Amino acid sequence: MATFDDLIIGSGMGGLAVGAMLAKAGRRVLILEAHDEPGGYAHSFRMRDFRFCAQVHYIFNCGEGETIHRFLSRLGAAETVPFVRLDPEGFDHVVVAGERVQIPNGLLKFRDRLVRRFPQWERPLRRYFEAVAVVGEELDRLEDLPERITPAALLAVYRYRHLLRYLKWTLEDLYDHVDMPPKLRAILAGQSGDYLLPPRDVSFLLHVALVYNYDRGAYYPKHHFFHFVETIVEKIRAEPGCEVLLEREVERIHVEGGRVTGVTTKRGEHFTAGRYISNVDPKATARLAGAGSFDEKRLDYEYSSGTITLYLGVHGLDLQEHGFGSHNVWHYPHQDLNRIYDDQLLRHDLSNPWLFLSTPTLHSGEPGLCPPGHQILEVATSCDHARLARLRRDDRRAYNAEKKKIRETILDVIEASYVPKLRDHLSMRVTGTPATNERFCWAPAGNSYGAALTPAHVGFQRKPFRSKLENLWMVNATAGFPSVAGTVGAGLELYRQLTGDRV
């Protein structure tokens, strides 16, 4: 087999980003992907005439000068992959116990909207938004952070004093500090599914990063996610000596003398390169490379939770008449988000779940997702991986029955609160569980966002890194931050570490 300069295991967004930049820089890049579609969680799959993106619904940092735009511009693909912006007056609608609040772009606008609606809580609202603004501003400047202790580093301590102050805080710590009332605790954490943790557990810095980034614009690729991913793959393949090979699950990373010497796939093929990059979970990579390949501290994390996703094809009704549109809907049955998450994850009680509802066909009218006259509705919520994976392994009937039960409960909630008689209008329904994510996205324990986004795992150390092996590097949602923008950003950061070229 030919020798490559860089061999990348996995074609998730982190792997594709660093791979595309290295290919563009003239390196011979090989990407080996286990699945039959590239993109990891951002891949799309077909079901009859429908096409669904496995997990991604809306993304941030696509505006001019922001991470994804800079990346696509460097690739010469910014015009090929245009984005549409979700409604700036309300890109996310949060519905708590039936009360709907629209989140607009513009933090001050959002603050004032809430103050007008809840004037009795003006003080906690002002204090919350002040904290979000100062932390968000410092997060934005993070690229300037010096790597060694120098006078500049000491100055940085001052410039990043709010990040340092809140480093170990949860969102709930901040709520307690500003005396936030229960209803607003729920509304302000309304995008909780974007980090899959309730206020009690999520890192406050991570919450701010999410809120602050979407505040600049929530985007959807005009020609859908499959086109976004395919364009990057085509760019890589178009470079001399570069290739993206699918259905190539790497089952062994060979090591000799502290270096990777090659990889073997399940098909028995052997590939070699000068440098290796893993876009696979660090613990899973360590299992492929064997004992001693990683500093144990790097592998000391628990995973984020799994999700159940319903992919629905709808005909004979217009979802716009039921509260959907150029926005997502976040549904919470009541205002105690800590309890909702505990019910679903610890007590396995999904009888009254929180829901994320997204309508890609209302985000962009471009064809490619479903037959004419149809629309797509995607619905997700959190659930525990271990129980469903065990059922799937031990008793396939019980697993399918449980899946069906959860699906029917979710449909009941949607019919009761949003779309009466939805079931009469479904021409396609597919249900994915954390076990599905494990099978089709190779996500260990069906994890959604890599290492859990608690204060313990959110910090300056969460970025691409070199393993203990001289020529093996890591980049993914854990060796970096989750989300499409987060993992593309991690890919560009690794590219900078390897070449000195900042995109």
Least CB distance from residue 253 to ligand FAD, whole Å? 9
In sequence order, the 6+-apart residues with CB closer than 8 A to the CB of 287 are none
Taking CA 64 as the corner, what is the angle to CA 62 and CA 65, rounded to the nearest 5 degrees?
95
* 13 binding ligand FAD? (CB under 6 A): yes
Cβ–Cβ < 8 Å for 94, 356: no
Q: 319-325, long-range: CB within 8 Å, 24+ apart, which pairs?
A: 319/359, 319/362, 319/375, 319/377, 319/419, 320/362, 322/418, 322/419, 323/93, 323/100, 323/418, 324/357, 324/359, 324/362, 324/377, 324/418, 325/87, 325/359, 325/362
Which of 203, 307, 375, 381 is close enough to bind ligand FAD by CB under 6 A? 307
Single out the segment in contact with ligand FAD by CB under 6 A; choices: 52-60, 314-322, 368-376, 418-426: 52-60
Which of 27, 51, 57, 162 is close enough to bind ligand FAD by CB under 6 A? 57
Least CB distance from residue 280 to ligand FAD, whole Å? 4
Burial class (CB in 10 A: 0-12, 13-18, 19+), 65: exposed
* 33 binding ligand FAD? (CB under 6 A): yes
- Three-state DSSP state, 354: coil
Which of 7, 8, 22, 32 is close enough to bind ligand FAD by CB under 6 A? 32
Give the residue with the Cβ less far from ligand FAD, 160 or 384. 384
Which of 96, 250, 414, 428 is close enough to bind ligand FAD by CB under 6 A? 250
* 249 binding ligand FAD? (CB under 6 A): yes
* 9 binding ligand FAD? (CB under 6 A): yes
- Three-state DSSP state, 68: helix
CA distance 46 to 428: 11
Which of 476, 489, 493, 498 is close enough to bind ligand FAD by CB under 6 A? 476
Which of 4, 41, 169, 225 is close enough to bind ligand FAD by CB under 6 A? 41
Cβ–Cβ < 8 Å for 90, 187: no
Least CB distance from residue 358 to ligand FAD, whole Å? 8
List binders of ligand FAD among 425-444 (CB under 6 A).
441-443
Mark residues 346-385: x for contact with ligand FAD by CB under 6 A, - for none.
----------------------------------x-----
* 487 binding ligand FAD? (CB under 6 A): yes
In sequence order, the 6+-apart residues with CB closer than 8 A to the CB of 399 are 388, 391, 392, 435
* 22 binding ligand FAD? (CB under 6 A): no
Burial class (CB in 10 A: 0-12, 13-18, 19+), 53: buried
* 59 binding ligand FAD? (CB under 6 A): yes
* 392 binding ligand FAD? (CB under 6 A): no
Beta strand 306-315 with 328-332 is: unpaired
* 489 binding ligand FAD? (CB under 6 A): no
Cβ–Cβ < 8 Å for 4, 20: no
Q: What residues make contact with ligand FAD under the rule CB under 6 A?
A: 9-15, 32-35, 40-42, 55-59, 249-250, 279-280, 307, 309, 380, 441-443, 448-449, 476-477, 482-485, 487
